[in-house]
């Protein structure tokens, strides 16, 4: 059991309720433990906490434009890796044609998010049709391959839970059916499409283990299951099936939108929702120090209400120890309550261990991102 020092005190001019009814001409900043799950203190500043004139040294925010990446190769192991640490790795890959081999990740569970396109997934468990906005969770050791539709390649955001597993978050007092009911999770089917691909011809399996590749050749297609039973499953959920927690009087923290948890990191999904309507409630994400986690956001679609000049396919990384929050124009729009709802869809990953930024990410980095909080 964690024994936090816990005796809340108040000093000076503050709000009675976090994220609402700030003292006049003040800006709230949250400094917390354990991301948004632990004890925290709220400061009320006379200036925006992101109102710096310059930042020197390695601690700075990053933005990457993945639309500038050139993808090649017929395997997901040809992905463009963005970030890596001991618990996870994050990359992107565009599948342009049917995979002529199978893959297996022996390093950890694999999470695929379909950014663009549609197609078919064939795996140990059977066949699933895919579309944009799908999450597909593949347990460690699953054999799989993809066939994109002819009209558009499959653009994938890929997250590996290295050495661990993806699980569902604890939903506490809102109950197990909140955010999404497990009944909406789809599983692959052993259907006619799956049986039709069970050919007696040579197939290769490219296995990733200890971040190295090995190839195993079979004289038949090893996706030859005729049935299965159990609860270690490949599952699919689309962001459109997610029903976000909302409060018209209080801006909920990102942790309220958690979709999956793994060792050392969480995956959250931001989907369209009404914006807080109470006159005193904060209507954009609050300024905060997320000192225990690196924060990565992949922007899938829509108008990203806390950011300026961010388009679909971009990523931002806010490292632990860095105070961040909405851009000035977004904060001003929220203060005016100029928008009544969000239309953004984004995937956020909070990692307890700092990520190493890999060369493919540096190649498409927008180095001026650190200046985007300055008043223009």
Which pLDDT does position 233 carry in this prediction? 96
Residue 100 lies in a domain: yes
Q: Are residues 223 and 322 in the same domain?
A: no
Residue 274 lies in a domain: yes
Q: Are residues 252 and 355 in the same domain?
A: yes
Q: Are residues 95 and 214 in the same domain?
A: yes
Domain that holds residue 342: 27-64+245-373
Tens of pLDDT, residues 27-80: 999 998 877 878 889 999 999 999 999 888 899 999 999 999 999 999 999 999
**Can you tell me the mean pLDDT for 289-299?**
91
Of 112 and 306, which is predicted with more confidence? 112
Residue 10 lies in a domain: no
Q: Are residues 96 and 57 in the same domain?
A: no
Q: Please report, for the domain that includes residue 313, its CATH number.
A: 2.60.120.10
**Can you tell me the mean pLDDT for 139-148?**
98
Tokens of 155: 């653009």
288 labeled binding residue? yes
113 SS3 class: strand
Which pLDDT does position 327 carry in this prediction? 83
Reported as a pLDDT band with limits 50, 70 and 90, residue 145 is: very high
Which pLDDT does position 374 carry in this prediction? 84
**Can you tell me the mean pLDDT for 154-164?**
98
**Can you tell me the mean pLDDT for 323-331?**
84
**Residues with catalytic function:** 251
Decide if 197 contacts 122 (C-beta within 8 A): yes
For residue 350, the Cα-to-chain-centroid distance in whole angstroms is: 8
Q: Are residues 31 and 172 in the same domain?
A: no
Decide if 93 contacts 113 (C-beta within 8 A): no
Q: What percent of the chain has pLDDT over 70?
A: 99
The total of structural domains in the chain comes to: 2
Q: Are residues 227 and 259 in the same domain?
A: no
Which pLDDT does position 196 carry in this prediction? 97
Decide if 264 contacts 87 (C-beta within 8 A): yes
When the pLDDT of each residue in the chain is averaged and rounded to a whole number, the result is: 93
Element housing 361 (H / E): helix 359-362
Q: Are residues 120 and 206 in the same domain?
A: yes
Residue 178 lies in a domain: yes
Cα separation, 40 vs 289, in Å, equals 10
**Can you tell me the mean pLDDT for 288-309?**
86
Q: What percent of the chain has pLDDT over 90?
A: 78
Residue 142 lies in a domain: yes
Nearest alpha-carbon partner for 268 in 242, 288, 240? 242
pLDDT beyond 80 at 17 = yes
Cα separation, 371 vs 376, in Å, equals 10
Residue 12 lies in a domain: no
Which pLDDT does position 254 carry in this prediction? 87
C-beta atoms surrounding 47 within 10 Å:
10
Of 289 and 223, which is predicted with more confidence? 223
**Can you tell me the mean pLDDT for 350-362?**
97
Q: Are residues 302 and 222 in the same domain?
A: no
Tokens of 358: 């890999």
Q: Are residues 149 and 218 in the same domain?
A: yes
Which pLDDT does position 306 carry in this prediction? 67
Cα separation, 107 vs 165, in Å, equals 10
324 labeled binding residue? yes
| Domain finish residue from 239, 258, 287 | 239
pLDDT beyond 80 at 299 = yes
Which pLDDT does position 205 carry in this prediction? 98
Q: Are residues 102 and 116 in the same domain?
A: yes
Reported pTM: 0.94
| Domain finish residue from 239, 260, 293 | 239
Which pLDDT does position 311 carry in this prediction? 93
Element housing 262 (H / E): strand 258-262
pLDDT beyond 70 at 376 = no
Tens of pLDDT, residues 171-200: 999 999 999 999 999 999 999 999 999 999
Decide if 275 contacts 340 (C-beta within 8 A): yes
Which pLDDT does position 351 carry in this prediction? 97
Helices (H) and strands (E) in the chain, counts: 3, 23
Residue 20 lies in a domain: no
Residue 169 lies in a domain: yes
pLDDT beyond 90 at 329 = no
Decide if 63 contacts 315 (C-beta within 8 A): yes
155 SS3 class: strand
Q: Are residues 235 and 249 in the same domain?
A: no
Cα separation, 139 vs 260, in Å, equals 13
Reported as a pLDDT band with limits 50, 70 and 90, residue 3 is: confident
186 labeled binding residue? no
Cα separation, 123 vs 225, in Å, equals 10
Reported as a pLDDT band with limits 50, 70 and 90, residue 285 is: confident
Decide if 287 contacts 255 (C-beta within 8 A): no
DSSP notation for 46-85: SS-TT--S---SS---EEEEGGG-----SSGGG-EEEEE-
Q: Are residues 109 and 233 in the same domain?
A: yes
Reported as a pLDDT band with limits 50, 70 and 90, residue 1 is: low
Least confident of 5-9, 51-55, 255-259, 295-299: 5-9
**Can you tell me the mean pLDDT for 84-101?**
97
| Domain finish residue from 239, 257, 288 | 239
Which pLDDT does position 38 carry in this prediction? 80
Least confident of 29-33, 154-158, 215-219, 307-311: 307-311
For residue 329, the Cα-to-chain-centroid distance in whole angstroms is: 24
């Amino acid at each position: 059991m964690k024994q936090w020092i816990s005796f809340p005190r108040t000093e000076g001019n503050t709000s009675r309720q976090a994220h609402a009814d700030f003292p006049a001409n003040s800006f709230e900043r949250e400094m917390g433990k354990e991301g948004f799950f632990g004890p925290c203190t709220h400061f009320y500043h006379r200036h925006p906490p992101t109102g710096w004139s310059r930042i020197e040294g390695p601690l700075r925010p990053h933005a990457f434009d993945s639309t500038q990446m050139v993808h090649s190769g017929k395997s997901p192991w040809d992905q463009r890796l963005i970030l890596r640490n001991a618990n996870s790795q994050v990359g992107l890959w565009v599948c342009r044609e049917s995979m002529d081999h199978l893959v297996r990740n022996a390093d950890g569970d694999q999470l695929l998010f379909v950014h663009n396109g549609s197609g078919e997934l064939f795996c140990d468990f059977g066949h699933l049709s895919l579309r944009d906005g799908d999450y597909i969770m593949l347990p460690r050791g699953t054999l799989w391959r993809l066939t994109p539709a002819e009209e558009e390649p499959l653009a994938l955001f890929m997250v590996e839970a290295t050495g661990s597993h993806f699980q569902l978050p604890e939903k506490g007092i809102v109950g197990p059916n909140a955010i999404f009911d497990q009944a909406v999770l789809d599983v692959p089917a052993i259907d006619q499409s799956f049986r039709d691909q069970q050919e007696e011809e040579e197939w290769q399996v490219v296995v990733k283990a200890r971040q190295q590749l090995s190839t195993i050749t079979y004289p038949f297609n090893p996706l030859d299951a005729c049935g299965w039973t159990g609860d270690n499953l490949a599952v699919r959920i689309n962001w459109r099936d997610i029903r976000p927690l909302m409060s018209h009087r209080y801006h909920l923290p990102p942790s309220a939108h958690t979709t999956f948890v793994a060792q050392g990191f969480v995956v959250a999904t931001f989907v369209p929702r009404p914006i807080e309507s109470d006159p005193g409630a904060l209507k954009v994400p609050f300024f905060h120090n997320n000192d225990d986690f690196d924060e990565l956001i992949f922007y899938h679609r829509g108008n990203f209400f806390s950011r300026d000049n961010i388009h679909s396919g971009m990523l931002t990384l806010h490292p632990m120890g860095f105070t961040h929050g909405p851009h000035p124009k977004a904060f001003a729009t929220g203060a005016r309550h100029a928008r009544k709802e969000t239309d953004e869809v984004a995937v956020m990953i909070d990692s307890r261990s700092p990520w190493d930024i890999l060369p493919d990410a540096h190649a498409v980095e927008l180095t001026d991102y650190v200046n985007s909080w300055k008043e223009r």
